[in-house]
Structure 1
Amino acid sequence: MEIPTTQSVKIQLIRNASLKITCGDKVFLVDPMLAKKGAYPGFEGTFRSHLRNPMIDLPMPVEDVMEGVDAVIVSHTHLDHWDEAAQELLRKDLPLFAQDEADAQIIRGQGFTDVRILGADVIFEGVHLTKTGGLHGTDSMFSVPQLAEILGKVMGIVFQAPGSKTVYVAGDTVWDKEVDETLAKFNPDVIILNTGDARLDGFSDPIIMSKDDTLHAHQAAPNATIIAVHMDAINHTALSRQELREYVQQKDIQDHVLIPDDGEILQF
C-alpha cells in the first residue's frame, strides 16, 4: 500500500554539489565545500586548471549553511565535496555518513567522532538512507591504474521517509548501469544530477554527467523532477547553468528540469 505524501521535502543548493536536504523533518548537509572564493589551486591535469577553486563565494554565511543540520553525508572525499574549510568548521560530534571504511577512517582522522558507513539499509531518526553505486569516469579512464586511484570510488544516496517524496542524489558519476538500476528500484520523485561536465586533460569524455544526461534522465524517469547542480563553481566543469538552460529549452524539457541558483530553495 502506497503511503500518501504528507510531508514536503526541501532541497537547497548551497554551491557546486553542496546541498541541504530536509526529509522527514531531518536536515542533511551533503558534500559540504565551505571555503571562500579562490582558497585552493585548480585541479592539476584538468580543464582550466589555472583557475582557483572555488570560483565563486558562498551565497550565504557559513553559519547559515550549518544551521539546523542533523547529519552530514560525504559521498567521497575529493576537495570539491569535502574540503578543509568544512573539516574545520563543522561540529566534530555531528553524525557523519561516509561511503566505506576507507573514507570513514580519513574523516575520523580529521577529528570527527560519530562517523558511520552508509549502506543498503540505514535508518537515521526515521529517514531511510540507501547508498547507491556510481562510476566517476569512463571504463577507459579506470583502465589506467594511477588515474583510477585518483578518481576513486563514489556513491549516490536515496532519501526516503514515510509520507515524503523519494529523492535520489546520483553523485559524481557518469550514467552507468547502476544509475539505471537505482531508477528502476526506487522510482524517485526527485533526481539530483551533478551535470557540470567535469573534464580531465587528454580525455574527450567527462568524469561526471553533462547536459545530455538531463534528457536521458527525463526519458528514463518521465514523472520525476530533475535538479541539475555542480556547475559554475569548480575549474574543471565545462558546462555552465546558462548553457544547460538553453539546452533544456531546445529539448523542450524545461518543465521537468530545474537548474537552481546558489542558495535557492526548492520544495516538493
Structure 2
Amino acid sequence: MDPIVWTCGASSGARLTPDRRQFAVTVTGGPTTVIDVAGRRLLCDPTFDPPHDYGYLVKTEGPAVEIGVVGDVDAVLLSHDLHPDNFDESGREFALSAPIVLAPTTAATRLGPPVQGRGVWETWDLHGMTITAVPARHGPADGELNDEGFVNCEVTGFVIEAPGSPKTYVSGDNASLALVRDIYNRFGPMDCAVLFAGAASVPSKFDGRPLSLTSERAVAAAEILDAQHVIVAHQDGWRHFAQNAGDTRHAFAGAGWQTGCAPHLSVICAN
C-alpha cells in the first residue's frame, strides 16, 4: 500500500470498542489516541471533558466516545501534564486509575504513582513491548526556557516497538523537525506516525508562534520519518488551533501523499 495520511476530526472513534486488536490506531478527539499493539491497549493523552473554558484555553468539542468505550487499558502514555488540552480533569481521573502511566520525569514528580517518568531515550518494558521516551519541544527552537529548562514545559514523545507489530511514533506536542530527525537517526523509518498538529498558538507565548506542528511541518516530519502511515491528531476541538484537518489534507495532498479523511478512524497497519 502506498504511504497514506489519515486526518481525524472530532467524530473519530465511533468504531472503537473495548475489544483489543493486534494493531489499530483510533483517535477519539483532540490528542486522545487509542493504540492497540499485539493485543495490548495504550491510551495517549486522555481528554474526556465536555466543552469547557479553562481560562486560557477553551475546549469547543467533546470527545467522540465515552470513557467506558475505551475499556481497560494496559498503560496511559502522557506526553505532558500541565496543559488541559492534553490532560483534562476527566483524563486525569482515568489515567491515575490505570495500571501505569508513562510520562516525562517532571510529570511523574508532580503526579506520583502510578506515573513512571523517563528521560529522553530511556525505555519502559511493558508486556513484551519496548516504549522509548523520545525528545519533543513544545514551541519554537529559540523559545525562552522555563525554570525547569524546557520550552513551554517538559514534553515527551514515544516510540512503541513490539515483535511482529508496526513500529509507531507518537509525537506529543512537538514542534521541532530537528528532533524528528534525531528520532529517525536512532530508530530508522516508522511504520506508523501519530503526529500532533494544528499549529497551536497562544498570543502570550513566543509572540503567538506555533507551539506544535503546522500542517506543512507535519508533512516534513512524515517525510523525515519515511513513514508508511501517518495519523494526524490534535488539530480540532480547541480554540487555540490555527489549522484544522482541512489544512492538513491540503498540505499532504500538495506534497503528493495519498490522503484519507477518516471520521471514524481505525487504521490497521499490520496484515
The interval holding the TM-score normalised by the smaller chain is 0.7 to 0.9
Deviations 1:108-165 (A, max 9, x none): 2xxxx4221235232101111000001111133225x589778111110000000011
* Structure 1 residue matching 2:267: 3-state secondary structure: strand
Specify whether residues 23 and 118 from structure 1 end up closer, same or farther in structure 2 by C-alpha distance, changes over 3 A only: farther
In structure 2, do the counterparts of structure 1 residues 86 and 137 end up closer, same or farther at CA, with 3 Å as the change threshold? same
**Structure 2 residue identity aligned to 1:155:** T
Alignment equivalent of 1:25, drawn from 7, 17, 39? 39
Deviations 1:182-233 (A, max 9, x none): 1122121111111110112162530110111232134323452221111111
Q: Which runs of 5+ in 1 are unaligned?
A: 1-6, 44-48
Deviations along 1:56-87, one digit per CA (max 9) or x if unpaired, are 1211122113x031111111012111111122
Q: 1:26-41, aligned counterparts within 5 Å?
A: 26-38=40-52, 40-41=53-54
Residue in structure 2 matching 1:72, options 63, 66, 76: 76
Kindly tell me: are residues 93 and 207 of structure 1, through their superposed partners in 2, closer, same or farther at Cα, counting changes over 3 Å?
Answer: closer
Task: Give the equivalent residue in structure 2 for 1:207.
Answer: 211
Identity rate of aligned residues, in percent? 21
Equivalent-residue separation in structure 2 for 1:242 and 1:148 (angstroms) = 35
SS at match of 2:86: coil
Matched, 1:87 2:92: yes
Measure the CA separation in 2 of the matches of 1:207 and 1:130.
23
Q: Is the 2:181–2:225 Cα contact (8 Å) retained in structure 1? A: no
User: What letter matches 1:251 in structure 2?
Assistant: A
Write the distance in 2 (CA, Å) between the matches of 1:115 and 1:128. Answer: 17
The change in CA–CA distance for 1:231 and 1:89 in structure 2 (over 3 A counts) is same
Kept in 2, the 8 Å contact 1:21–1:28? The answer is yes
CA distance in 2, matches of 1:221, 1:115: 29
The gaps in structure 2 that reach 5 residues or longer are: 1-20
Map 1:1-268 onto structure 2 (within 5 A).
8-38=22-52, 40-43=53-56, 52-53=58-59, 55-65=60-70, 67-77=71-81, 78-90=83-95, 92=97, 94-100=99-105, 102-108=106-112, 113-119=113-119, 120-142=122-144, 145=146, 151-186=152-187, 187-201=189-203, 203=207, 205-253=209-257, 255=258, 260-261=262-263, 264-268=265-269
Distance 1:224-1:114 versus aligned 2 partners, 3 A rule: same
TM-score (norm 1): 0.82
2:186 maps to a residue whose letter is: K
Deviation at residue 92 of structure 1 after TM alignment = 2.4
The structure, 1 or 2, with the larger RCO (C-alpha pairs under 8 Å, 6+ apart) is: 2
Structure number with higher strand proportion: 2
8 Å Cα contact 1:227-1:259 kept in structure 2:
no
1:169, distance to aligned residue in structure 2 (A): 0.5
